[in-house]
Amino acid sequence: MKFNWEGVMPAVTTKFTSDDKLDLEMFTVNINAQVEAGVHGIVLGGSLGEASTLTQDEKNQLTRETVNIVKGKIPVIMTIAEQATSVAIQAAQDAKENGASGLMILPPMRYKSTDIETVTFFKEIAKSTDLPIMIYNNPVDYKIEVTVAMFAELMELENIEAVKESTRDIINIGRLRNRFGNNLKILTGVDPLALESLLIGADGWVAGLVCAFPEETVAIYELAKAGYAKEATKIYRWFLPLLELDISPQLVQNIKLAEVATGIGTENVRAPRLPLVGEERERVLLVISEAMKNRPKLPDYKNLNAVPTA
């Protein structure tokens, strides 16, 4: 499927049963809720998806299941997060065979590669496939920054088309836009900076709390892009305490608790992760409870007329 790197793309959680198998029944419930809300793509196998604990067979199964669920309505993007270039290339080939429409690629895992090693890693994977690629730029968590100069090299390859911008330096959106114009699609990857990023020109949002609140997330995006900044901001301010649950080492547990509250997920995580306990659990549950009590009434965000510009 040919698609544009635009809109809301949930980095979905992986659902597990109580005996640590893939919970495809609840996974289907969640994906259907995302599609119904109007998301523009699904991103599988990211850090929120507990990818480091999944086998390649499980990743393949999740890709096939998602492709089957969405039935061509929206693209399915598989994440490539590997230590060895050869393994990453094989994972990219598997993703295509299983029906993925695109790839999100992280820098080498565990090894802090140099700039030239990072660029070479991305290029070798990109050369091995014709799938469109989004580079995940998250130096906060992965300690490797993909700079503007590095993107200039990467974009010599036509299928490197987008960036998931998670530096948390919102100025970087302007730097990338000034250097590459619309040739590089920019999707914000930091939930508590999402509206700001969209209003200054990001094309989309690879989101986390969307896993529990798909309609609110898509509403913010559609309102912002149609020129209704005030209306988007009102929902965003309600959402912000929840969105901050995404920038935590326990983001998986946090978001899964939120999915339980909205009825489209379970709390089950895969070891070494464990469910939240004690004061931190109570804090997160309070944030979720307050949000649920004050959940906003949404406008008809699927049928907006753009605000005329001068």
Q: Taking the domains of the chain in order of start, what are their residue ranges?
A: 7-301
Torsion sign over Cα 273, 101, 10, 169: positive
Cα–Cα distance, 245 to 284 (Å, whole number): 8
143: left (phi over 0), alpha (psi -120 to 50) or beta: left
The distance from CA 252 to its chain's CA centroid, rounded to whole angstroms, is 13
Cα–Cα distance, 180 to 153 (Å, whole number): 12
- 7-301 to CATH, choices 3.40.605.10, 3.40.50.970, 3.40.109.10, 3.20.20.70: 3.20.20.70
Contact call for residues 214 and 39 (beta carbons, < 8 A): yes
Backbone phi, then psi, for 71, in 5-degree steps? 50, 40
Note down pLDDT in tens along the chain; length 310 residues: 677 999 999 999 999 999 999 999 999 999 999 999 999 999 999 999 999 999 999 999 999 999 999 999 999 999 999 999 999 999 999 999 999 999 999 999 989 999 999 999 999 999 999 999 999 999 999 999 999 999 999 999 999 999 999 999 999 999 999 999 999 999 999 999 999 999 999 999 999 999 999 999 999 999 999 999 999 999 999 999 999 999 999 999 999 999 999 999 999 999 999 999 999 999 999 999 999 999 999 999 999 987 866 5
Cα–Cα distance, 230 to 191 (Å, whole number): 18
Looking at residue 307, what is its pLDDT?
80
- Encode burial over 197-215: b for 16+ CB neighbours within 10 A, e otherwise: bbeeebbbbbbbbbbbbbb
The DSSP secondary structure of the chain, one letter per residue, reads ----S-EEEEBPPPPB-TTSSB-HHHHHHHHHHHHHHT-S-EEESSTTTTGGG--HHHHHHHHHHHHHHHTTSS-EEEEE--SSHHHHHHHHHHHHHTT-SEEEEPPPSSS---HHHHHHHHHHHHHT--S-EEEEE-HHHHS----HHHHHHHTTSTTEEEEEE-SS-THHHHHHHHHHGGGSEEEE--GGGHHHHHHTT--EEEESGGGT-HHHHHHHHHHHHHT-HHHHHHHHHHHHHHHGGGSSTTHHHHHHHHHHHHTS------TT-----HHHHHHHHHHHHHHHHTPPPP--GGGPPPPP--
Looking at residue 61, what is its pLDDT?
98
Q: What does pTM read for this prediction?
A: 0.96
**Per-residue CA distances from 50 to 58, 149, 257 (Å):** 11, 31, 15
Neighbours of 88 (CB within 10 A): 23
Cα–Cα distance, 262 to 246 (Å, whole number): 17
Looking at residue 3, what is its pLDDT?
78
